[in-house]
């Protein structure tokens, strides 16, 4: 269970997050949407403390992540993350990218880790790319390796930070297809995205953010019928 309590984040004088309160229920998919600069990515990055909130509590399975510093790496292990710019390790082949944390964090043997990594890459349709380096892969392939890397850890939840924003429409579809498949394997998915149609298809809940605040958390069907807030209605009508 992921819970944010009274989270604020300031960069200097700029407030990026203002008193955020939200609980992400297990095994549900959340799409965080809203205009650029609304604080969506920062919110996501606060969950695994890549960004440290200025105020508030981040509770993961009732552990206060900011206070319990010793728990941080242990808990991060259970929260996968996929980035806009893929962030693959440039000096490692696809299979090593996936196996790396299995060896270093999960302490698996090299043989086991490589076997697992092969399986994960196969699941995202990249069994023919095992030994290619990131610079030899297309954007869509890179992102699929990144997804395989996150999934290999068998996390309880996974954070997607605009996973398709750096991709062309065709690659976007290939990555979205992979993410959709994850929807039913019992993880909490939290996805920051600008792909409204995709959000509508995969999410159980829409989190609408504007101006550093969460304006509403609404079940997806309801949201697309009629958002609760005026601002979200405007946002949606601009989109469709």
Among residues 76, 129, 142, 144, the one that binds other proteins under rule CB under 8 A: 76
Residues 114-143, mask of contacts with other proteins (x by CB under 8 A): -------------------x-xx-------
In the bound state with other proteins, the residue whose beta carbon lies nearer, of 82 and 232, is: 82
Residue 101 interacts with other proteins (CB under 8 A): yes or no:
yes
With tokens 């407030």, the residue in question is: 15
Q: Which of residues 46-65 bind other proteins (CB under 8 A)?
A: 48, 50
In the bound state with other proteins, the residue whose beta carbon lies nearer, of 101 and 126, is: 101
Comparing C-alpha atoms, which of 105, 76, 42 is closest to residue 68?
Answer: 76
In the bound state with other proteins, the residue whose beta carbon lies nearer, of 182 and 232, is: 182
Query: 29-33 and 205-210: which strand pairing?
Result: parallel
Stretch that binds other proteins, among 1-9, 76-84, 215-223, 225-233 (CB under 8 A): 76-84
Q: Least separation, in Å, of the C-beta of 131 and other proteins?
A: 11
Q: Which of residues 193-232 bind other proteins (CB under 8 A)?
A: none
Stretch that binds other proteins, among 56-64, 77-85, 115-123, 170-178 (CB under 8 A): 77-85
What distance in Å separates the CA atoms of residue 50 and residue 5, rounded to the nearest whole number? Answer: 17
Residue 236 interacts with other proteins (CB under 8 A): yes or no:
no
Among residues 95, 150, 171, 199, the one that binds other proteins under rule CB under 8 A: 150
199 touches 33 (CB < 8 A): yes
Count CB neighbours of 18 within 10 A.
Answer: 15
Count the residues in the chain.
Answer: 240
Among residues 15, 87, 165, 183, the one that binds other proteins under rule CB under 8 A: 87
Residues near other proteins (CB under 8 A): 48, 50, 73-81, 83, 85-92, 100-101, 104-105, 133, 135-136, 146, 149-150, 153, 159
């Amino acid at each position: 269970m992921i819970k944010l309590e009274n989270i604020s984040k300031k960069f200097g004088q700029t407030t990026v997050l203002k008193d955020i309160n939200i609980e992400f229920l297990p095994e549900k998919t959340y799409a965080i949407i809203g205009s650029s600069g609304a604080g969506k990515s920062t919110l996501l990055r606060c969950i695994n403390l890549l960004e440290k909130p200025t105020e508030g509590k981040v509770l993961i399975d009732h552990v206060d992540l900011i206070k319990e510093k010793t728990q941080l790496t242990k808990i991060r292990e259970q929260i996968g993350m996929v980035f806009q710019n893929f962030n693959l390790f440039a000096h490692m082949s696809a299979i090593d990218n996936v196996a790396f944390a299995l060896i270093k964090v999960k302490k698996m043997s090299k043989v086991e880790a490589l076997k697992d990594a092969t399986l994960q890459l196969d699941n995202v349709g990249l069994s023919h790319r095992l030994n290619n380096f990131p610079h030899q892969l297309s954007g869509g392939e890179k992102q699929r390796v990144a997804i395989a890397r996150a999934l290999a850890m068998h996390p309880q939840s996974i954070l997607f930070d605009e996973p398709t924003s750096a991709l062309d429409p065709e690659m976007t579809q290939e990555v979205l297809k992979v993410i959709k498949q994850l929807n039913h394997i019992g993880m909490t998915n939290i996805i920051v995205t600008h792909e409204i149609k995709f959000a509508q298809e995969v999410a159980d809940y829409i989190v609408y953010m504007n101006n550093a605040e969460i304006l509403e958390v609404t079940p997806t069907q309801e949201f697309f019928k009629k958002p609760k807030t005026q601002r979200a209605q405007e946002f949606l009508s601009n989109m469709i």
